[in-house]
């Protein structure tokens, strides 16, 4: 779960806020997006810095930008790997976190994700890359198969190539063959595996782009 890395060190914007003041907050906290809420703290969406900068009048309120809001968020009970996937798929500087009523709860930054990854133990771990047709991609189903075989997903990222999604997992387990066989049995194509006692500075190149992204 992600509760331990949720931050609340700035207030979300509202549609009544001026563009110039919103940009000042984004500059202060070095973020490229900011959550927008209504008067009851209900999440309306995420607005990008570039969208605000394109406004003709920066003294105007954000009301005219309502159609530019992006509905990207996580619930506070989300799994850690959902956080990683949302960051990488949307190239975000922060992810808004909401409670069960879709009220704004806080946010998560890439640096917090790096810190969480650094706490993980890489002993008895392996990397597996699988592919699946886009229409058949269900991350919760894949994670269920891994966890039912006593595997723990420590990190993952996905990438799109034509009509297929390639997912790279770092998994902690005692029997990687069992997980590999199970995924194959459920028609997931196993592209490659790398089994070893992986040290933090020896992660396979398949995770290099993900780590570089988190460090930007």
Task: Write down the pLDDT at residue 96.
Answer: 96
Tell me, yes or no, whether 177 lies in a domain. Answer: yes
Among 86, 109, 132, residue at a domain's last position: 109
| Residues 172 and 91 grouped into a single domain | no
Q: Please tell me whether residues 137 and 60 are part of one structural domain.
A: no
**Which pTM does this prediction carry?**
0.63
CATH assignment at residue 73: 3.10.580.10
* Among the listed residues 12, 11, 70, 16, the one whose alpha carbon sits nearest the alpha carbon of residue 37: 12
Question: Do 207 and 164 share a structural domain?
Answer: yes
State pLDDT tens for residues 12-55: 999 999 999 999 999 999 999 999 999 999 999 999 999 999 99
DSSP β-bridge partners for residue 169: 128, 156
- For the cut 80, the answer to whether the pLDDT of residue 69 exceeds it is yes
In whole angstroms, what is the distance from residue 210 CA to residue 208 CA? 5
What domain range is 21 assigned to? 3-109
Specify whether the CB–CB gap between 38 and 69 falls below 8 A.
Answer: no
Query: Residue 176 above 70 pLDDT?
Result: yes
What confidence score (pLDDT) does residue 203 get? 43
Query: Is 114 contained in some domain?
Result: no
State the Cα–Cα distance between residues 109 and 111, nearest whole angstrom.
5
Contacts 24+ apart (CB under 8 A), 153-162: 153/81, 154/117, 154/120, 154/122, 154/125, 155/81, 155/84, 155/117, 155/120, 155/207, 155/210, 156/81, 156/84, 156/85, 157/84, 157/85, 157/88, 157/207, 157/209, 157/210, 158/85, 158/88, 158/89, 160/134
Assess contact for 6 and 73: CB atoms under 8 A: no
| Final residue in a domain of this structure, among 45, 79, 109 | 109
Statement to judge: residues 203 and 128 lie in one domain: yes
Number of domains in the chain: 2
> Is the residue at 92 inside a domain?
yes
pLDDT tens-place string over residues 82-133: 777 787 678 888 999 999 999 999 999 877 776 666 565 556 778 888 999 9
Instruction: Say if residue 145 is in the same domain as residue 69.
Output: no
Task: Please check whether residues 48 and 98 belong to one and the same domain.
Answer: yes
Q: According to the model, what pLDDT value does residue 123 have?
A: 65
Are residues 153 and 67 part of one domain? no
pLDDT digits (tens, 9 = 90+) for 45-68: 999 999 999 999 999 999 999 999
Residue 105 included in any domain: yes
Report whether pLDDT(153) > 80.
yes
Average pLDDT score, the chain: 84
> Does residue 115 belong to any structural domain of this protein?
no
Q: Does one domain contain both 104 and 160? A: no
pLDDT > 90 in the chain, percent = 52
Residue 75 sits in the same domain as residue 19: yes
Is 51 in the same domain as 139? Answer: no
Check whether 205 has a pLDDT greater than 80: no
Token pair for 96: 């808004």
Q: What is the pLDDT of residue 186?
A: 93
Of 50, 85, 109, the last residue of a domain is 109
Angstrom distance (rounded) from CA 75 to CA 117:
20
Looking at the structure, tell me whether residues 92 and 140 fall in a common domain.
no
Q: Please indicate whether residue 212 or residue 165 has the higher confidence score (pLDDT).
A: 165
CATH number at residue 167: 3.30.70.260
47 and 126 within one domain: no
């Amino acid at each position: 779960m992600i509760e331990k890395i949720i931050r609340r060190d700035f207030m979300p914007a509202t549609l009544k806020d001026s563009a110039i003041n919103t940009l000042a907050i984004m500059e202060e906290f070095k973020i490229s997006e900011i959550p927008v809420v209504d008067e009851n703290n209900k999440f309306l969406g995420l607005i990008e810095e570039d969208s605000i900068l394109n406004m003709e009048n920066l003294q105007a309120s954000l009301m005219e930008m309502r159609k530019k809001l992006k509905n990207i968020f996580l619930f506070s009970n989300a799994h850690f790997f959902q956080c990683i996937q949302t960051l990488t798929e949307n190239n975000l500087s922060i992810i808004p976190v909401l409670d069960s009523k879709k009220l704004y709860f806080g946010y998560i930054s890439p640096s917090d994700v790096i810190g969480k990854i650094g706490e993980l133990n890489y002993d008895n771990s392996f990397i597996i890359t699988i592919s699946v047709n886009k229409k058949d991609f269900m991350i919760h189903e894949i994670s269920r198969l891994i966890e039912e075989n006593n595997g723990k997903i420590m990190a993952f990222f996905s990438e799109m190539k034509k009509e297929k999604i390639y997912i790279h997992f770092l998994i902690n387990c005692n029997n990687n063959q069992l997980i590999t066989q199970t995924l194959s049995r459920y028609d997931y194509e196993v592209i490659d595996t790398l089994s070893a006692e992986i040290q933090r500075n020896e992660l396979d190149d398949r995770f290099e782009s993900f780590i570089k992204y988190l460090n930007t």
